[in-house]
């Protein structure tokens, strides 16, 4: 039996470089000596700040004091080129994802338009003015079922992808595998839209389902790895003192850095999503074969960037034991009636799995059975609290676009005037693209300067309120559509005796605010959830926790799938009303019950922890190796 009484303190008290990176990863040029009144520039910080690095790691000018943490403004780091490369990959992947999935509803829902090209495009001229592109003609229920199945898989599979990335392949390799799978999916996706196939609905449907399942697997490998890999590139891992160009003394903060970078990352997601405009016009005027081909072409940007980044990017190594450690921690926690303590709250439940507690009460510590450290238990506790927040987010996910096929059903009953019926959905990414820099460079820094930074839970509250506003507008617009449609409460499938579409007096452009308000809300809700996933998760398990943050979209898709038969004419108003009420009420749950998640995080991505070098056994092995090397030197001389 191996015991060691000081394992916990041995590594928890270890000094860190200002960047938080292992000292063997720091170049000499990044550690200039600070002396006298002149401070040599080190790592670049935010756009208006420069961070000073010093050879003396305990220099008081670099390490913030408690007073500094309370009084100094916190600024983010500038993005290095490798972080920019990750954003470029996300842009290409999301452009291909949304560019492909944007036409899915019309492809499944609507039949081939009369007088059209036979490839899904509408008839030319006035005959196609208020027609929608279509192919299979399976109807709203089947369209909702298949599109939500795709979304569900695309956000469930990341849980598996995150586990693989954390334990087997590492984030970079997992992304590469997902990219290869996605390339295959994009080739297959064009097949059901080929003119000779599209006229055979059964064959086209079979090929289509195969391609979207493979595409969902590709997203499942890429999504849980790319965001964490981006954040891994941060040059600063712990708060560090810096100076702005105007001489202001500031704190170069790792959590603010993650917040800023993820806002930029989310903007890139939606710049890519805006590519759906091109595919929606392609489906309307040319056909679905072009709508599915264009995203595949853009997708080929991804392997190029991955090849360029391969030797330059920091890759946290996978840790095969991290899931085993987590399961064993919970086994210890739940032993001897632990499930009863779990409901009482407080630290008593969690402390019982900490090695320091076990050693104090048993007098020994078997590192073959208890091979984690105290901090790992704290990290799991933080992750569980973050996951409780993630469990509420599906309410917002449903408010952001409705349940099932609500928005598409609304659009086909509106005056199109030659525009694609799914065009307005692109105001969602457009709003995000516009407001990302406003929040990142305007609202958030302003609130910080006046001493009232927007904490994560209040950001959640704002986002949910914006989602509620969007639902209220949607309910009013849907009521107006029913009131002015020739078919009343059956407006979605309204046609005349010749089969020509009859629409309400409501213009398609009234959908803009329905997309706009929840889209801005996404910046407060989704980006904050990604921030919580990265900053509150164990250093060696960020892929899995990040995937759990994404999972709320899968839950929303599952609810939509379950209600597909119900959410259709004449019942399209009240779901919006229900979502508006629930979203508004839930908004105030976050600052009331989760305000402890507003506490700032300062040490959440230490590279030595990610590499497993701070594990108790690893520390003992390192100490033993150092001692052996020292003895060999003494024996030699």
User: How many CA within 13 A on the CB side of residue 45?
Assistant: 30
Burial of 338 (0-12, 13-18, 19+ CB in 10 A): middle
Q: Where are the alpha helices (DSSP H) in 563-615?
A: 574-586, 589-593, 607-610
Determine the Cα–Cα distance for residues 270 and 448; give it in Å rounded to an integer: 26
Closest residue by Cα to residue 150 from 212, 223, 214, 94: 212
In this predicted model, which residue has the larger pLDDT, 225 or 51?
Answer: 225
Burial of 574 (0-12, 13-18, 19+ CB in 10 A): exposed
Question: Is 591 within 8 Å of 457 (Cβ atoms)?
Answer: yes
pLDDT greater than 90 at residue 175: yes
- Rounded to an integer, the average pLDDT of 591-600 is 91
Closest residue by Cα to residue 129 from 504, 500, 488: 500
Residues forming a β-bridge with 44: 50
Lowest mean pLDDT: which of 1-15, 302-316, 344-358, 417-431?
A: 1-15
Determine the Cα–Cα distance for residues 30 and 21; give it in Å rounded to an integer: 12
Determine the Cα–Cα distance for residues 135 and 113; give it in Å rounded to an integer: 8
pLDDT single digits (tens) 109-118: 888 888 878 8
pLDDT, residue 51, reads: 38
pLDDT single digits (tens) 557-578: 888 878 877 888 888 999 999 9
Determine the Cα–Cα distance for residues 69 and 247; give it in Å rounded to an integer: 18
pLDDT, residue 189, reads: 95
- Rounded to an integer, the average pLDDT of 260-288 is 92
pLDDT greater than 60 at residue 17: no
Closest residue by Cα to residue 316 from 251, 400, 231: 231
Tokens matching residue 175: 């992304």
Q: How confident is the model at residue 226 (pLDDT cuts 50, 70, 90)?
A: very high
pLDDT greater than 80 at residue 9: no
pLDDT greater than 60 at residue 92: yes
pLDDT, residue 403, reads: 87
Backbone CA torsion sign across 213, 549, 593, 475: negative
In this predicted model, which residue has the larger pLDDT, 87 or 11?
Answer: 87
N- to C-terminal Cα separation, the chain: 35
pLDDT greater than 70 at residue 20: no
Q: Using DSSP, state whether 279 is helix, strand or coil.
A: helix
Tokens matching residue 545: 């926790």
- Rounded mean pLDDT of the chain? 84
pLDDT greater than 50 at residue 420: yes
pLDDT, residue 455, reads: 93
Q: How confident is the model at residue 623 (pLDDT cuts 50, 70, 90)?
A: confident
Kindly report the pTM of this predicted structure.
Answer: 0.82
Lowest mean pLDDT: which of 68-72, 104-108, 614-618?
A: 614-618
Determine the Cα–Cα distance for residues 496 and 491; give it in Å rounded to an integer: 12
pLDDT single digits (tens) 514-536: 999 999 999 999 999 999 999 99
pLDDT, residue 8, reads: 39
pLDDT, residue 224, reads: 94
pLDDT greater than 60 at residue 554: yes
Q: Going from the N-terminus, what domains does the chain have, and what CATH number goes with each?
A: 74-320+378-598 (1.20.1250.20), 322-370+607-636 (no CATH)
Considering the chain, what percentage of its residues have pLDDT values greater than 90? 44
pLDDT greater than 60 at residue 59: no
Tokens matching residue 167: 């334990």
Cis, bond preceding 570 (omega within 30 deg of 0): yes
Q: How confident is the model at residue 539 (pLDDT cuts 50, 70, 90)?
A: confident
Q: How confident is the model at residue 1 (pLDDT cuts 50, 70, 90)?
A: very low
Backbone CA torsion sign across 56, 57, 60, 61: positive
Q: How confident is the model at residue 32 (pLDDT cuts 50, 70, 90)?
A: very low
Q: Which residue is associated with the tokens 């109807």? A: 139
Q: Where are the alpha helices (DSSP H) in 125-246?
A: 140-164, 171-190, 195-198, 201-232
Give the number of other CB atoms < 10 A from CB of residue 305: 18
pLDDT, residue 637, reads: 62
Give the number of other CB atoms < 10 A from CB of residue 560: 25
- Rounded to an integer, the average pLDDT of 121-141 is 82
Q: Where are the alpha helices (DSSP H) in 320-455?
A: 322-334, 338-342, 348-351, 355-362, 374-390, 394-399, 406-411, 427-438, 444-449
Relative orientation angle of helices 140-164 and 171-190, to the nearest 10 degrees: 150
pLDDT, residue 23, reads: 36
Determine the Cα–Cα distance for residues 279 and 277; give it in Å rounded to an integer: 6
Question: Is 598 within 8 Å of 455 (Cβ atoms)?
Answer: yes
pLDDT, residue 456, reads: 95
Sorted by sequence, the CB contacts under 8 Å of residue 328 that are 6+ apart come out as 369, 370, 372
Most confident stretch, 21-25, 369-373, 430-434: 430-434
Residues forming a β-bridge with 51: 242
pLDDT, residue 636, reads: 67
């Amino acid at each position: 039996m191996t015991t060691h009484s000081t394992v916990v303190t041995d590594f928890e008290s270890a000094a860190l470089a200002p960047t938080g990176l292992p000292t063997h990863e720091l170049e000499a040029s990044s550690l200039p000596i600070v002396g006298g009144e002149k401070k040599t520039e080190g790592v670049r910080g935010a756009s208006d700040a420069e961070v000073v690095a010093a050879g003396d790691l305990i220099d008081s000018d670099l390490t913030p004091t408690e007073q500094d943490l309370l009084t100094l403004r916190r600024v983010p780091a500038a993005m290095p080129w490798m972080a920019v490369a990750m954003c470029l990959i996300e842009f290409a992947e999301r452009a291909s994802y949304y560019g492909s999935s944007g036409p899915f509803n019309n492809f499944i829902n609507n039949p081939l338009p009369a007088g059209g090209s036979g490839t899904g495009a509408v008839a030319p001229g006035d005959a196609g003015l208020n027609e929608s592109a279509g192919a299979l003609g399976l109807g709203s229920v089947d369209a909702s079922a298949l599109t939500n199945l795709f979304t569900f898989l695309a956000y469930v599979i990341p849980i598996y992808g995150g586990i693989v990335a954390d334990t087997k392949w590492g984030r970079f390799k997992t992304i590469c595998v997902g990219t290869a799978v996605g390339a295959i999916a994009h080739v297959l996706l064009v097949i059901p839209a080929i003119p000779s196939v599209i006229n055979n609905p059964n064959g086209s449907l079979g090929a289509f389902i195969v391609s979207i399942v493979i595409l969902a697997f590709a997203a499942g490998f890429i999504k849980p790895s790319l965001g964490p890999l981006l954040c891994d590139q941060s040059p600063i891992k712990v708060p560090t003192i810096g100076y702005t160009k105007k001489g202001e003394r500031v704190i170069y903060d790792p959590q603010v850095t993650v917040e800023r970078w993820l806002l930029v990352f989310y903007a890139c997601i939606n710049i890519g999503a805006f590519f759906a405009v091109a595919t929606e016009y392609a489906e309307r005027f040319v056909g679905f074969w072009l709508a599915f081909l264009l995203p595949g072409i853009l997708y080929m940007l991804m392997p190029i960037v991955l090849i360029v980044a391969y030797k330059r990017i920091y890759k946290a190594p996978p840790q095969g034991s991290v899931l085993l450690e987590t399961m064993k921690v919970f086994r210890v926690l739940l032993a001897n009636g632990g499930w009863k303590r779990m409901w009482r709250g407080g630290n008593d439940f969690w402390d019982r799995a900490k090695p320091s507690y076990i050693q104090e009460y048993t007098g020994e510590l078997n590192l073959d059975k208890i091979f984690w450290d105290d901090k790992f238990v704290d990290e799991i506790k933080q992750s569980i609290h973050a996951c409780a927040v993630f469990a509420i987010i599906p309410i917002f996910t449903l408010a952001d676009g409705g349940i099932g096929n609500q928005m598409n059903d609304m659009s086909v009953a509106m005056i199109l005037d030659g525009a694609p019926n799914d065009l307005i959905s692109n105001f969602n990414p457009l709003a995000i693209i516009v407001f990302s820099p406003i929040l990142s460079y305007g609202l958030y820094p302003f609130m910080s300067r006046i001493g009232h930074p927007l904490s994560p839970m209040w950001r959640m509250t704002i986002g949910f309120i914006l989602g509620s506003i969007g639902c209220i507008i949607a309910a009013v617009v849907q009521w107006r559509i029913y009131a002015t449609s020739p078919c009343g409460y059956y407006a979605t499938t309204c046609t005349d005796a010749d089969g020509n579409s009859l629409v309400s007096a409501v213009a398609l452009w009234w959908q803009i605010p329905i997309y706009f308000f929840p889209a801005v809300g996404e910046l407060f809700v989704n980006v904050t959830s990604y921030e919580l996933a990265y900053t509150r998760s164990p250093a060696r398990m960020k892929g899995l926790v990040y995937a759990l943050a994404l999972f709320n979209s899968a839950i929303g898709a599952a609810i939509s799938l379950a209600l597909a038969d119900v959410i259709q004419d004449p019942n399209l108003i009240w779901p919006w009303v229900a979502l508006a009420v629930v979203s508004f009420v839930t908004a105030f749950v976050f600052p009331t019950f989760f305000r402890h998640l507003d506490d700032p995080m300062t040490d959440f991505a230490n590279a030595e922890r990610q590499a497993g070098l701070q594990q108790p056994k690893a520390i003992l092995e390192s100490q033993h190796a150092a001692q052996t090397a020292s003895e060999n030197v003494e024996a030699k001389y």
